[in-house]
Structure 1
Amino acid sequence: SQTRVPIIAITGTNGKTTTTRLIAHIFKQTQQVVGYTTTDGTYIGDYLVEPGDNTGPQSAQLILQDPTVEVAVLESARGGILRSGLAFSACDVGVVLNVAADHLGLGDIETIEQMAQVKSVVAETVMPNGYVVLNADDPLVSQMASRVKAQIAYFSMQPDNSLIRSHTQRGGLAAVYENGYLSILKGDWTLRIEQAVNVPLTLGGRAPFMIANALAASLAAFAQGVRIEDIRAALATFQASTQQTPGRMNLINLGRFHALVDYAHNPHSYEALAGFVQNWTGERIGVVGGPGDRRDEDFVTLGRLAAQMFNRILIKEDDDTRGRPRGDAARLITQGIEAVNPACPHETILDETTAINTALDSAPIDSLVVVLPESVTRAISLIDARRPAQESPAIAPNGTEASPAEAAVQPSSVEYVNFGR
């Protein structure tokens, strides 16, 4: 059935919130009233109408029932789909970013293949004349094409991806990262949107996972008829800031050192985050933890990945341990750290606020303190309290002397890992 307003639905393991917010920002350039739901709240236009983790059907209904909303952009998470399904019977564009091992063992979902089936519900709901936007670099996602009735559009960080080549040769629509550009492909033509270095969300082109999110968002908007000029304008004005994308690669200059706040909380997102963090030229300090309802082996993996990423680690736990005994998650993370790098300095400070303040108090010059918090709002507040009166940009402009952030990652040195927020 025809929907009352265009609906763009976004799902995936990582990157959902950033991509949802960016798609909403793109549609705002068209002067339409955009209603959107995220893990950070429900928004209509520029107004937060309901705070909280609002990625289920009840929050989506709030948007769809509002008479002022002209475009609906809906983050659709695993939990809401399993509990109550979707708030709509059909959508215009469905975006599937990636599928990775997170939330396994919850809600009778034991394998990553079963998780892919849950995520594919969004793709299968797209109307025949709509578009499903799929990650061509993730086989679990690209395989969903066989189960949908809509048109397919693929995005990829690899311009020579064989699926992209065959799809566009048949006249299909795609978006790729090629020669430093975010580009739209169809048939034998290429339409370059913008250089990644000019897209603030990508931290000067040095965060490949953010480039992937921008590709998916741009492709979804283009498939829905948004002009390239509006997409380009949106990409130029959307930043990984505490205002526009709280908890998503927020790099904050504190004068003597930098802090990075990110909601990475599963192995998939830790791996992608490492591509940026490991190339920081100064000391790298991590404040790490994870949701208590994850499997024991997931916590051990987080510890192993943290030991490869940081020079020093502070292990904390969430206030809400989700039924896990206090201290158990920290013990498992410690086990992972010591299995990979027992010489890596690490200590357990269970209280998140104390752990963050300890890391900030002891940060040496030119270091990077990476905070992976339960409460993004709390972490940002603690860091904001330490901002100097006037701060220099976190990323030096092109042509100026490189700061530690400028030197952190060269695009050619990072292998793309599906990610996100």
Structure 2
Amino acid sequence: GTHTTGNVFIPQAIKNGAVAVVFQGEFDSAIQDSISEALEFTKNTNSINPDKIAFIRVTDSRLVMAPLSAKFYDEPSKKMGIIGVTGTEGKSSTVSFIWQLLKLSGHKAGFISTVQYSLGEDAIANPQHQTTPEATIIQRQLYEMLQNGCEYAVIETSSHGLSPKLNRTGNIFFDAGIFMNVTLEHLEFHKTFEQYRDDKANLFRKLDEHDHTKLINGKTVKIPSFGIVNLEDPSADYFIKATKQPVLGFTTEGKAGKAAGEGTAATALPKIPDAIPVLLGRNIASARFGLTFDMSEPSVIDKHSKPLPPKVFHIRSSLPGAFNTYNLMAAIEAVSRLTNTSLEKVAALVPQLVPVKGRMTVVDKGQPFELIIDYAHTPSSFETIFPPLRRRCSGKMIALFGSGGERDLKKRPLQGQIAAKFCDIVILTDEDPRGEDSVELLKMIAVGAEKEGRVMDKDLFITPDRPTAIRQAFKMAGKNDIVLLLGKAHENSIIYADGPHPYDEITEAKKALSELGYK
């Protein structure tokens, strides 16, 4: 219903066997004629009695889609523990880590995310450019998880999915909510940062909508309800106040975030609210193929009210990137709380975690330069991934990226400026231009790069065709250089005005390396 009325699809739905039609507004003469034709078609083909088809007019068909879907699938979220993860960055990785840790802890679980989903079995690629599916799809997926014996479902909850305008997550009974961060994004939809943040906070408000008593595998179970927040984000207190459930926090004291990166002084941080148990990450070390840090559990008060020293666990993982410290702490804390398992036992499972496709994915075919593919596509994600790479790069850093068409315009020059600040060469290329002119879109990004001193056709290039741009980057790269392909990662297409064109970043990168003799 974003670009056209859904009523135009009613005739085809009837021909496909729909027995009920929920719609809003009035039918114009063209739609009415098409519906009459479709009803005549069903009568002539004996597929269904047209007199038995119910037409139900409502004020807002999108709003009722969630409760109707939930009822149709017999309220699957009332029979599983449901965990929601929201934030501008880190959602997909955190969802995946929670799912993996639940499985490693002996609990059957499913998940839904931007990158992949699982209905209780192995994870498979998500073919959609949509983080949180429409209510009809998400309720069906939850139902299939339930049929496959899942105890838990982990859902990546986008601001669009949580917005009452779309109501994709309506009638999902969340038990736990995790807030990673919130920065400027999707303002073309939410209009203001305040509305964007408020829509995301609906996840925490949903925790107060039921008593968390659920029927799990035929038994009535009280699911622990709680929130988890990144205490380094200025909006942490806003999310804490959005729910009456207990809230826990995590922080690296700024060591893993943005320009602070690894091993540098922490940036100014928000004051930690009183009475919030805090999980602390310190001594963070990230290298090309892994991450280590120390995690201390919240302080404990004994019966004499004397604080006991917190336990400290050394975490070792094969996940690159200091920012994964946030994702891991949130996941460990969530699984420990949900399953009533000690933090120590959950933390011991971290070495078995595998990274998410397209999240700091290293492609090595023997080329002299380091090649990293990542989904980073916002100013805040650029500020997170560039600084630590810049510090360890002894050669040139080459960044290749674009920006989504028909999306927030304000972020484009910021992307260019941040990339130019940390990278020696910036190559601008198609991400998903949609209906916009590719070159004009990329020029908007270039404005920011030029502010940082980049010069067009010297160390700043506009090459709309992405495969061509990748080959351009590889030819410029040499020993000790780092090449970053950003923004597409796991996605399986590039969207142009005429629709999606099949595309796989990792496959294209490997093909380009092969052409250079690296196989």
How far did 1:59 drift?
4.0
Tell me whether 1:91 sits opposite 2:166 in the alignment: no
Matched with 1:191 is: 311
Aligned residue identity for 1:173: P
After superposition, the C-alpha distances for 1:380-399 in whole angstroms (9 at most, x for unaligned) are 112334389999xxxxxxxx
Tell me whether 1:333 sits opposite 2:453 in the alignment: no
Aligned residue identity for 2:179: V
- My pick for the range that moved more, 174-183 or 347-356, is 174-183
Q: Structure 1 residues 295, 162: CA separation in 2 closer, same or farther (over 3 Å shift)? A: closer
Q: Structure 1 residues 309, 54: CA separation in 2 closer, same or farther (over 3 Å shift)? A: same
Matched with 1:228 is: 343
Matched with 1:288 is: 401
Tell me whether 1:72 sits opposite 2:153 in the alignment: yes
After superposition, where does 1:18-57 map in structure 2 within 5 Å? 18-44=93-119, 45-48=121-124, 51-52=127-128, 53-56=130-133, 57=135
Tell me whether 1:178 sits opposite 2:282 in the alignment: yes
Mapped contact 1:36–1:42 kept (Cα < 8 A): yes
CA distance in 1, matches of 2:131, 2:158: 9
Match for 2:203 among 122, 126, 143?
Answer: 122
Q: Structure 1 residues 146, 366: CA separation in 2 closer, same or farther (over 3 Å shift)? A: same
Q: Structure 1 residues 30, 60: CA separation in 2 closer, same or farther (over 3 Å shift)? A: farther
Secondary structure of 1:269 counterpart: helix
CA distance in 1, matches of 2:274, 2:131: 38
How far did 1:28 drift?
0.7
CA distance in 2, matches of 1:117, 1:297: 20
Aligned residue identity for 2:127: P
CA distance in 2, matches of 1:162, 1:339: 30
TM-score by length of 2: 0.67
CA distance in 1, matches of 2:171, 2:350: 28
Matched with 2:352 is: 237
After superposition, where does 1:308-319 map in structure 2 within 5 Å? 308-318=421-431
How far did 1:177 drift?
0.7
Secondary structure of 1:84 counterpart: coil
CA distance in 1, matches of 2:483, 2:518: 20
Tell me whether 1:382 sits opposite 2:503 in the alignment: no
Q: Structure 1 residues 365, 123: CA separation in 2 closer, same or farther (over 3 Å shift)? A: same
Tell me whether 1:134 sits opposite 2:229 in the alignment: yes
Matched with 1:270 is: 382
CA distance in 1, matches of 2:277, 2:140: 32
Secondary structure of 1:9 counterpart: strand
Aligned residue identity for 1:248: R
Instruction: Kindly report structure 1 stretches of 4+ aligned residues shifted beyond 6 Å.
Output: 159-162, 387-391
After superposition, the C-alpha distances for 1:139-159 in whole angstroms (9 at most, x for unaligned) are 213222122021111111119
How far did 1:263 drift?
0.7
CA distance in 2, matches of 1:220, 1:390: 42
- My pick for the range that moved more, 382-391 or 56-65, is 382-391
Q: Structure 1 residues 389, 193: CA separation in 2 closer, same or farther (over 3 Å shift)? A: farther
CA distance in 2, matches of 1:289, 1:249: 17
Mapped contact 2:374–2:489 kept (Cα < 8 A): no
Greater radius of gyration (CA): 2
Mapped contact 2:403–2:433 kept (Cα < 8 A): no
CA distance in 1, matches of 2:118, 2:95: 11
Q: Structure 1 residues 200, 59: CA separation in 2 closer, same or farther (over 3 Å shift)? A: farther
How far did 1:163 drift?
5.0
- My pick for the range that moved more, 174-183 or 344-353, is 174-183
Q: How many residues align?
A: 374
Q: Structure 1 residues 232, 372: CA separation in 2 closer, same or farther (over 3 Å shift)? A: same
How far did 1:87 drift?
4.7
CA distance in 1, matches of 2:486, 2:365: 17
Secondary structure of 2:95 counterpart: helix
- Over the residues paired in the alignment, what is the CA RMSD in angstroms? 2.7
CA distance in 2, matches of 1:157, 1:145: 18
Match for 2:318 among 200, 204, 209?
Answer: 200
Matched with 1:410 is: none
Matched with 1:104 is: 187
Mapped contact 1:174–1:219 kept (Cα < 8 A): no
Stretches of structure 1 lacking an aligned partner (at least 5 in a row):
392-421
Matched with 2:8 is: none
CA distance in 2, matches of 1:308, 1:284: 11
Aligned residue identity for 1:62: R
Matched with 1:403 is: none
Q: Structure 1 residues 274, 54: CA separation in 2 closer, same or farther (over 3 Å shift)? A: closer
Tell me whether 1:323 sits opposite 2:398 in the alignment: no
- My pick for the range that moved more, 286-295 or 378-387, is 378-387
Aligned residue identity for 1:234: L
After superposition, where does 1:254-269 map in structure 2 within 5 Å? 254-255=365-366, 256-269=368-381
After superposition, the C-alpha distances for 1:243-278 in whole angstroms (9 at most, x for unaligned) are xx1111112334311101111111111111112222
How far did 1:37 drift?
0.2
CA distance in 1, matches of 2:341, 2:518: 38
Mapped contact 2:359–2:489 kept (Cα < 8 A): no
Aligned residue identity for 1:61: Q
Q: Structure 1 residues 316, 26: CA separation in 2 closer, same or farther (over 3 Å shift)? A: same
Q: Structure 1 residues 50, 166: CA separation in 2 closer, same or farther (over 3 Å shift)? A: closer
